[in-house]
Structure 1
């Protein structure tokens, strides 16, 4: 049967269209998992795995858990069209609340047109 056949029923005036199967596009891609804010327990109980992994908090902030058990706060961001990375410190020394404060300060600098990693280098020099 042809894929572009149209049948009209004179009594009910119904229209039946047949769409070929190969034109139907099924979206089978998985939707990305949105980052939910971390709770205080999640960084504390994060166990090392075979490979480093991230626990996302949102706004570019995440906790990097290394195979050796070390945990580092990092923030990924874009500045002047390039992807950059900013380190805030090691996990128990820098708490979740402190890391969020550092993230918001870095976001304020980005919004003001200042690269936070360059500003940090200048402050430390």
Structure 2
């Protein structure tokens, strides 16, 4: 199976006239599942992915940006004062449900990727809970 980049996966789910602003991978359900998260100029898009190989397993949901909200802050998981590379952000969807993501670029290493991806979301999504 061929691995593709997150932006290409999100681009395959956008509508005419939309442009991808950011795209990255995230882990959900205590790290047991992987998703591709993308924000366009209009929507927040979540696509199911293969766990070990980044792939498009179908659209999970896509909500308008003005109907989703981020919880006021995010948390970085520290162990003995060291950054583990995990940071968690909660998103309230348009239907009122909440989803927690750990937006790491890979399962191992890259301790700053989750925090950098969360900062991108906070810059693009205006709503706060």
Same fold (TM over 0.5): no
Larger Rg: 1
- Give the strand-richer structure, 1 or 2: 2
* More relative contact order, 1 or 2 (CA 8 Å, 6+ apart): 2
Greater fraction helix? 1
Query: TM-score by structure 1 length?
Result: 0.30
